Amino acid sequence: MGMEAKKSEDEFLSRIDITKERWNKLGDSRKLIIEIYNDYKSKLDDFNNVAVSLSGFIQKINGVHSVRWRIKSPEHLIAKICRKKEKGVEKYNDIDVSNYRDKITDIIGVRALHLIKSEFIDIHASIMETWDIGELPVAYVRKGDQQDLRDLYEKLGLSVEDHEDGYRSIHYIILTSFTKKPIKCELQVRTIFEEGWSEIDHKLRYPEFISDPLVVEFINIFNRLSGAADEMGTFVHKLANGIENLRAEKSQKDAEAATHFSALEEKIVELEKAYAQNGSLKAELSQLRGLIKNTKHYEDSYLSLRNHERDLERMKVMQRNAEAEVLAKQKFIDVDAMRRYGFSAESYSKAASLSEKSVQEARDRMRLKGHGLAASSANDKNSQGNKKK
């Protein structure tokens, strides 16, 4: 190998952060790795355009707060291939220029960040409806995370895995069709707090894999704090929703109360009108009662008048009888005898109108009638005396 070639190789190994010893252990794979490196560099603009377009689609998903994207650098791509080959990962045994875009699924990486854990449900639904999925989505959780969160992920059809470093995120491999050959892209969905912890963890440990106990302890504490922050965010979100629901309920109750109050006011107006009308009816009723009373008074007066008329008629009759009696006495008619013998007062008048002769005849008849009655009475007494004997 000439000086220029050796210098170029050293620069290449420096960029991919791999020692010459490790590089040499790769043997015949080194040529394929360099071919992949050159091909990938030539397609960076295409991958970049795909990432920009994909990010625009994801940003429109309801619940997504912000979107970040990146294209894996050629050096990081080759470093990853070298690590996988060193570990003997079967997937990378036959990697070459024709298939590296299928085997490496995070060439294009997009992160969709959201604020509250519960927003993930709608985001997940939108992703599954919009793109074809190349692999089963994976939900990375930390040991000790809430069981109900794990249950939710499983219910949505995700594979739940405990990450040894406490990493939390949902990973999708989606297939984009911006070119003839679909490109696999890694879509990560996480909260803003999970993103903050991930950035710090990545800065401190990746790719050097720092294992200092103090650094690890700090990262673990920060990881727990980010989880607590997410739980607090979820709680605040529920609290805000609860307050909003209470306000909505209060607003509804106020509206109902206003409606009832308005109806009550209308009813009061109706009652006032009815009361006024009732006053008028009372006045009319009072008039009717007065008419009834007056009518009864007239009826009583009429009856009283009829009684007076009858009394007057009786008085007239008595007057005529008295006059007849006086007239009869003037003509020497024995009125008392006429009474005793059952003659009415009218007979006095008739008797008084008779001539003197007729009067004398009447007297004789009365006398004879009187003797007859006396004899009859004497005979009755004698008969009764004989019976006693």
27-75 pLDDT, tens digit each = 888 899 999 999 999 999 999 999 999 999 999 999 999 999 999 999 9
372 in a structural domain: no
Q: Residue 4: which pLDDT band, with cuts at 50, 70 and 90?
A: very low
- 285 lies in a domain? yes
pLDDT higher for 280 or 194?
Answer: 194
Looking at residues 222-242, what average pLDDT do you find? Answer: 75
In a domain, 203, yes or no: no
pLDDT tens-digit map of 249-301? 888 888 888 887 788 788 777 777 777 777 777 777 777 777 676 666 666 66
pLDDT value at 206 more than 90: no
Buried b (16+ CB within 10 A) or exposed e, 81-91: bbebbeeeeee
156 and 257 share one domain: no
Helix (H, G, I), strand (E, B) or coil at 167: coil
Determine contact, residues 210/203, Cβ cutoff 8 Å. no
Beta strands in the chain (DSSP E): 66-71, 108-114, 132-133, 138-141, 159-162, 169-176, 183-191
163 and 89 assigned to the same domain: yes
Q: Is the pLDDT of residue 349 over 70?
A: no
Instruction: Give CA–CA dist 115/194, Å, rounded.
Output: 10
User: Considering the domain boundaries, does residue 120 fall inside one?
Assistant: yes
170 forms beta bridges with 139, 189
Helix (H) / strand (E) containing 241: helix 213-330
Q: What pLDDT does 329 receive?
A: 59
Higher model confidence: residue 242 or residue 383? 242
The answer, yes or no, to whether residue 2 has pLDDT greater than 50, is no
Per mean pLDDT, which range of 123-127, 237-241, 345-349 is the poorest?
345-349
Domain check: are 230 and 126 in the same one?
no
Proportion of the chain in helix, strand, coil states, percent, rounded to 5: 70, 10, 20
| Residue found by looking up tokens 């990973």 in the block | 171
pLDDT over threshold 60, residue 352: no
| Res 137: pLDDT | 95
pLDDT of residue 3: 44
The residue among 266, 293, 319 that closes a domain is: 319
Do 104 and 144 belong to one domain? yes
Final residue of a structural domain among 286, 319, 352:
319
Q: How many structural domains comprise the chain?
A: 2
| Confidence (pLDDT) at 189 | 96
The pLDDT of 317-341, averaged and rounded, is 61
Same domain, 229 and 142: no
29 belongs to a structural domain: yes
Average pLDDT over residues 110-130: 93
Q: How confident is the model at residue 210 (pLDDT cuts 50, 70, 90)?
A: low
CA angle 152, 158, 161 (to 5 degrees): 95
What does the pLDDT read at residue 168? 87
Instruction: Please check whether residues 120 and 236 belong to one and the same domain.
Output: no
Examine the domain organization and report whether 121 and 159 are in the same domain: yes
Whether residue 359 lies inside any domain: the answer is no
For residue 58, the enclosing domain spans 8-192
pLDDT tens-place string over residues 132-179? 999 999 999 988 788 888 999 999 999 999 887 778 899 999 998 776
Q: Which of 319, 334, 364 marks a domain boundary? A: 319
Amino acid at 80: K
Query: Could you tell me the maximum CA-CA distance found in the chain, to the nearest angstrom?
Result: 205
Looking at the structure, do residues 283 and 244 belong to the same domain, yes or no?
A: yes
Same domain, 14 and 160: yes
Q: Are residue 104 and residue 241 in the same domain, yes or no? A: no
Range scoring the smallest mean pLDDT among 83-87, 91-95, 202-206: 202-206
The reply to whether 151 and 226 lie within a common domain is no
- 351, part of any domain: no
**Confidence band, pLDDT 50/70/90 cuts, at residue 330:** low
Q: What percent of the chain has pLDDT over 70?
A: 74
Q: Is residue 326 part of a domain?
A: no
Both 182 and 259 in one domain: the answer is no
